[in-house]
């Protein structure tokens, strides 16, 4: 095998050396002449085309010492069989994650290598631990993925949004006066006697305190009992009227024993 350095010194491209040795007898004769010889320039021009366009350049490659996703493939027109026998190339990747490669490479190009090229659709994620190399699992309720890629986890729906079904690609927004629960699987509403408390990260329902009430659901605060009314318990949707002392009447009973009983009504 031969190695042709890339413009970046930390990379090397491995190519089919048989083609190079085929040209060697011709190139040695040409290079004995001046470097400015027309045939010399023609040879280097031809090798340049081979370097950028020969799809079989890596057909017999066994090892890659750099991240191929970062290669400059802007001048590559096809990659058929490029990684066909690259037995040490065991990467699983999605061309959606590497736009320069999109449309220039396909799953069949890795036929005898250990690599795989596929993408999980929106609403699913890749599980490397699965026995099925191409297995994509559905996102759980409250989670989503909205792009075709190879994520190993799904994202949690943002606050105020939910995913009520498995394999959701886009979270739905909660209606007015409702909020998403902690696991983002549904929208909730606070009933009468309660109010919606919006914390730093989550929202929840809390009881109205004593002397307060809330007669409607979906509210973010409780009301004070008006003058002449009271509430001695929590989480109540109403207040009670106060009874003036003058409205009380009583029976004053003296017993034979000298005791006195008072009955208030």
Give the domain extent around 161.
119-187
**DSSP H/E element including 31:** helix 17-31
Task: Report the C-alpha gap between 103 and 95 in whole angstroms.
Answer: 8
pLDDT band at 35 (very low <50, low <70, confident <90, very high): very low
128 and 215 share a domain? no
> What pLDDT is stored for residue 40 in this prediction?
59
For residue 235, name the pLDDT band (cuts at 50, 70, 90).
very high
- Locate tokens 């994202």: which residue? 155
Domain boundary among 116, 139, 168: 116
Residue 263 above 60 pLDDT? no
**Are residues 10 and 77 located together in one domain of the fold?**
yes
Whole-prediction pTM value? 0.61
CATH number for 196: 2.10.50
Helix (H) or strand (E) run with residue 264 in it: strand 260-264
Residue 57's pLDDT is 59
Residue 216 pLDDT level (bands cut at 50, 70, 90): very high
Residues 99, 33 within the same domain:
yes
Same domain, 53 and 155: no
Report the pLDDT value the prediction gives residue 93, as an integer from 0 to 100: 78
3-state DSSP helix/strand/coil percent for the chain, to nearest 5?
Answer: 20, 25, 60
Asked if residue 260 belongs to a domain, the reply is no
> Predicted confidence band at 42 (pLDDT cuts at 50, 70, 90)?
low
pLDDT value at position 47? 52
Tally of domains in the chain: 3
Distance of alpha carbon 96 from alpha carbon 123, whole angstroms: 15
Domain boundary among 169, 187, 205: 187
DSSP for 119-173, please give it: -BPTTEEE-TTSSSTT-EEEPPTTEE--SSB--SSPEEPPTTEE--STT-SSPEE
Position 256 scores a pLDDT of 52
User: Which pLDDT band holds residue 25 (cuts at 50, 70, 90)?
Assistant: very low
- CATH number at 135 reads 2.10.50.10
At residue 22 the predicted structure's pLDDT band, cuts being 50, 70 and 90, is very low
Q: Give the DSSP letter of residue 237.
A: S
Query: With 50 as the cut, is the pLDDT of residue 27 above it?
Result: no
pLDDT, residue 130, reads 76
Confidence tier at 92 by pLDDT (50, 70, 90):
confident
249 assigned to some structural domain: no
Q: Look at strands 116-117 and 92-93 and give their pairing.
A: parallel
The per-residue pLDDT for 103 is 77
**Which one of 187, 209, 231 terminates a domain?**
187
Q: What is the pLDDT of residues 142-161, one digit of tens each?
A: 999 999 998 999 999 999 99
């Amino acid at each position: 095998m031969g190695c042709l350095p890339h413009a970046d010194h930390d990379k090397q491209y491995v190519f089919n050396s048989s083609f190079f040795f085929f040209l060697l007898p011709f190139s040695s004769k040409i290079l004995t002449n001046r470097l400015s010889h027309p045939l010399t320039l023609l040879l280097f021009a031809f090798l340049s085309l081979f370097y950028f366009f020969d799809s079989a350049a890596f057909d017999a490659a066994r090892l890659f010492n750099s991240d191929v996703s970062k290669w400059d493939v802007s001048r590559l027109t096809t990659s058929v069989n490029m990684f066909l026998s690259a037995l040490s190339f065991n990467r699983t990747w999605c061309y959606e994650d590497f736009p320069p490669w999109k449309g220039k490479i396909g799953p069949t190009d890795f036929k005898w290598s250990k690599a795989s090229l596929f993408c999980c659709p929106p609403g699913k994620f890749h599980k490397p631990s699965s026995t099925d190399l191409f297995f994509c699992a559905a996102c759980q309720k409250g989670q989503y993925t909205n792009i075709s890629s190879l994520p190993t986890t799904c994202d949690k729906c943002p606050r105020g949004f939910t995913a009520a079904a498995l394999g959701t690609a886009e979270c739905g927004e909660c209606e007015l006066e409702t909020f998403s629960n902690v696991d983002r699987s549904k929208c909730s509403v606070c009933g009468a006697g309660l109010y919606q408390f919006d914390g730093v990260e989550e929202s929840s329902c809390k009881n109205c305190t004593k002397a307060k009430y809330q007669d409607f659901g979906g509210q973010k605060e409780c009301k004070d009992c008006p003058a002449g009314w009271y509430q001695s318990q929590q989480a109540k949707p109403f207040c009670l009227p106060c009874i003036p002392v003058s409205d009380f009447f009583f029976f004053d009973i003296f017993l034979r024993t000298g005791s006195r009983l008072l009955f208030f009504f």
